[in-house]
A and B are shown apart, each in its own frame.
Chain A
């Protein structure tokens, strides 16, 4: 149990285009989902927290108009990188939280590697 599917696993896009990344909890309902970004040889950096049906809470320094987060249901959250530029190239990881779920409540997706050319 407690599986999070993240799609796509990798994507290459042209500079100036937008990319959408999906995060789905497959066998549980996630009250809260988190989005992280990870640059090479660095740790995960929390970008935002999203709760179903409400606006996401962004961490300091993260541009909410550039990284659009939608949490339309208890099993799906999406992150859209708008007008992507090469510096947005990174590994994006989502995490879904459900109190009582296996693993202390937090389940991570397998990540999406975004390359902007």
Chain B
């Protein structure tokens, strides 16, 4: 299973762009990169996912390097409500089950 490495914590000023890095150097060609976030005592919330190309939606942008060994989640204009733990996950496919295995994530704190 491909592993991910994320910084333990990050801080960002409100209104600025938050750039969260993720390393997944052992990713396979058919594995997706997913990003979720979890606000305290809630279930994870889907943010975005991608395979090769950069992706953008109403919440964030996902930049995947050409070699696919790392990616960056960008929250363009961070607000206080974006304070959460952000998880970068590589989707594995094992015996037909496509489970999401969570790492330790990055605790992002948005400061006023």
Chain A residues within 8 Å of B, Cβ to Cβ: 4, 6, 32, 34, 36, 43-46, 49, 51, 57, 91, 93, 95, 97, 102-111, 113
Could you count the A-B residue pairs with CB atoms below 8 Å apart for me: how many are there? Answer: 54
Chain B residues within 8 Å of A, Cβ to Cβ: 32, 34, 36, 38, 41-46, 49, 87, 97-105
Query: Given A43-B104, A104-B34: A34 and B43 within 8 A (CB)?
Result: no
Specify the main secondary structure of chain A where it touches its partner: strand
* Pairs A–B under 8 Å by Cβ, sample size 22: A4-B43, A32-B97, A36-B102, A43-B102, A43-B105, A44-B38, A46-B101, A46-B102, A49-B97, A51-B97, A93-B43, A97-B98, A103-B46, A104-B32, A104-B34, A104-B46, A108-B36, A108-B43, A108-B44, A108-B46, A111-B41, A113-B41
Most chain B beta carbons < 10 A, residue from A93, A103, A104:
A104
